Copies of this chain bind each other. A is one copy, B any other.
Amino acid sequence: MNGSRPTVHPVEAPPLTDGPLNGPRMRMKNVQGMPGTHGGLTLRLLQFVFGLVSLCVMATTSHFRTFTAFCYLVIAVSLQISWSLSLAIVDAYALLVRRSLRKRAIVRLFAIGDGITSTLIFAAASASAGITVLVGNDLNRCSVNPCARFETATAMAFISWFAMTPSFLMNFWALASQ
Contact = CB atoms under 8 A, between A and B. Distances in A.
- Give the bracket for the number of chain A residues in contact with chain B: 35 or more
Contacts of A137: 68
Total copies of the chain: 2
A interface SS class: helix
Contact of A17 (B10, B17, B175): B17
B11 A134 contact: no
Nearest to A169: B172
A92 interface: no
9 contacts: A69-B134, A122-B126, A123-B126, A123-B129, A126-B130, A127-B130, A130-B130, A131-B131, A134-B134
Interface of A: 8-11, 13-14, 17-18, 21-22, 24, 66-69, 119, 122-124, 126-131, 133-134, 137-138, 169, 172-177
